[in-house]
Amino acid sequence: MELNTIQNSWKNNFKNPIIIAGPCSAESETQMLETAERIKNSGLEIPIFRAGIWKPRTKPNGFEGVGVIGLGWLKKVKEEFGFQTATEVANSHHVEAALKADVDILWIGARSTVNPFTMQEIAEALEGTEKTILVKNPVNPDLALWIGGFERLLAKNITNLGAIHRGFSTYQKTNYRNTPNWQIALDFKNQFPNIPLFIDPSHIVGKRDGLAELTQNAINLGYDGAMIETHCNPDAAWSDASQQITPEVLATLISNLKIRNANSDLSQENLEQNRSIISDIDSQLIDLLFERMKISEKIGIYKKDNNIAVFQPERWKIINQYALQKASLTNMSASFIEKVFKAIHEESVEVQNGIMNNGS
Ligand SMILES: O=C(O)C(=O)C[C@]1(C(=O)O)C=C[C@@H](O)C=C1
C-alpha cells in the first residue's frame, strides 16, 4: 500500500472541521474534569479531548508531565463526558501505557518526528494498531522527514493516520513561536489529500492573540480540523500558559470560524492558498530586513567610533552588482531589483547618519 492511496475512514466519524481541545498538560484530576466539563457545556461539537501526559521540555528540571496517573484522568474524561481522548507518545513505553489505557488517538510530537530512530521505535510499538495516529511536522522544515515518519507507520500496517501542522523552529525572532511555512503543509496536503490535516495554532502563534486568525487561515486552505490548547485556568497552567485559552474563549473562536465547503470553487481555494504563501513570505521579508538593519546599526556605531564615512561607494557598488547578477538568474527585471536595493541602502545610510549625528 502507498501513502497516497490509503483510506482514512476515521475522519468520517466526525463533523468537519474536527476540533481537538484540552490542556497542554494534564495537571490534576480536577483540572482535567473541569476543563472537559466546560468544553462540553460550550454547546459546540468538540469530539476529542487532548492532554499531554509526558512533556518533552527544552531544558531539564521543568515540569515533564504527570506520567501514567494522567491516563486514568483521561479515561474519566471519556467516561463522564463522552469525548474521544488524545495524548502524545514519544517512546515505546508511552505507546504501551497509552494503548493499555485505551486512549483513542495518539500523536507524535515534532521533537519525535525529527528523529528517525524515535519514529521507528514508536512505529514498531504501534504495529498493526487501529487507533488513529497523528504525526506533527518535524521541528525543522523538512517535508521528506515528515513523510518518512508516515512511511514508517504505514510499513507497520498503521493506516488510520492524520497530520498536524505545528509550525517550524527558527533561530530568528519572529511574530510566531514557530513559523508556519504554509508551503510545506500545503505540499503535504497536495501529495496526500487522503490524510486529514490539522492545524495546531497554539504552537504556531505561541500566544492567545492571533489564534483565531491563524485557525481561520487554515480552514480557508481546506484543513480538516484544529488542535487548540484549552485550560480551565490558563494563567495558572503548568506549561505553555501564555498560549492556552479558556473553554469559553475556544467556543467563541470556533463559532466565529467561517467554514469552507470542501468542494467549493477551486479557484477560490487556490487564491487563498497563494495569499497565505505571500503573507508568509512578506513576514519573512520584514524579519530579514529588520535583521539587516540591526547589522547596519552596528556598523554605524563602529563607523562613528572610528571616524569612518557612512557612505561607502565601493562597497555599495559591490552590493548592487551582486544583487543584479543574482536577479539575472531569475525572470525579475533588473530595474525592480535595483529599486528595491536602492531603497534598502538609502534607509541604511539614513539610520547610520542618525547614529553619527547622535551625541558627540
Ligand atoms: O558596508 C558598510 O559600510 C555598510 O555600512 C552597509 C551599507 C549597506 O547597508 O549595505 C551601508 C552603507 C554603505 O554605503 C554601504 C553599505
According to the 3-state scheme, what is the secondary structure of 175-212? Answer: CCCCECCHHHHHHHHHHCCCCCEEECHHHHHCCCCCHH
Residues with Cβ within 8 Å of 221's Cβ and at least 6 positions away in sequence, in order, are 182, 186, 189, 269, 272, 273, 276
Segment 47-66, tens digit of pLDDT: 999 999 999 988 998 899 99
Segment 267-298, tens digit of pLDDT: 667 888 888 899 989 999 999 999 999 999 99
Segment 92-151, tens digit of pLDDT: 999 999 999 999 999 999 999 999 999 999 999 999 999 999 999 999 999 999 999 999
Minimum-distance ligand 1 atom for the alpha carbon of 344: 9
14-38: average pLDDT: 97
6-13: average pLDDT: 88
345 touches ligand 1 (CB under 6 Å):
yes
Q: Which residue has the higher pLDDT, 255 or 359?
A: 255
131 touches ligand 1 (CB under 6 Å):
no
Which cell goes with 73? 484522568
| Element at 228 (helix H, strand E) | strand 225-229
25-50: average pLDDT: 97
Q: Which domains does the chain have, with CATH numbers?
A: 3-264 (3.20.20.70), 267-357 (1.20.59.10)
319 touches ligand 1 (CB under 6 Å):
yes
240-269: average pLDDT: 85
Which cell goes with 20? 481537538
Q: How confident is the prediction for the chain on average, in pLDDT?
A: 94
Closest-CA residue, ligand 1 atom 3, reads 312
At 154, is the pLDDT very low, low, confident or very high (cuts 50, 70, 90)? very high
Segment 304-318, tens digit of pLDDT: 999 999 999 999 999
Q: In this model, does residue 169 exceed pLDDT 60?
A: yes
Mutate to test the pocket of ligand 1, among 352, 353, 356 (most ligand atoms within 8 A of CB): 352
For 16, 89, 125, 133, 226, the CA distances from 92, given in Å and listed in that order, are 32, 8, 5, 14, 26
Distance in angstroms (rounded) separating the CA atoms of residues 39 and 50? 11
What is the C-alpha end-to-end distance of the chain, expressed in Å? 73
Instruction: Check residue 262 and give its pLDDT.
Output: 60
Instruction: Check residue 261 and give its pLDDT.
Output: 66
Exposed / middle / buried, residue 229 (Cβ in 10 Å: 0-12, 13-18, 19+): buried
Instruction: Check residue 23 and give its pLDDT.
Output: 98
Minimum-distance ligand 1 atom for the alpha carbon of 345: 9
φ and ψ of 53, to 5 deg: -105, -40
Instruction: Check residue 264 and give its pLDDT.
Output: 55
* Model confidence, pTM: 0.80
CA diameter of the chain: 75
Instruction: Check residue 266 and give its pLDDT.
Output: 62
312 touches ligand 1 (CB under 6 Å):
yes
ipTM confidence: 0.95
356 touches ligand 1 (CB under 6 Å):
no
Which 3 state secondary structure label does DSSP give 243?
helix
Segment 71-80, tens digit of pLDDT: 999 999 999 9
Q: How far is the CA of 319 from the centre of ligand 1 (A)?
A: 9
H helix runs in the chain, sequence order: 29-40, 69-81, 92-100, 110-113, 116-126, 143-155, 182-191, 201-205, 211-220, 247-255, 266-305, 313-327, 334-357
Task: Name the residue among 140, 184, 128, 185 with its Cα closest to residue 162.
Answer: 185
At 172, is the pLDDT very low, low, confident or very high (cuts 50, 70, 90)? confident
Which cell goes with 15? 463533523
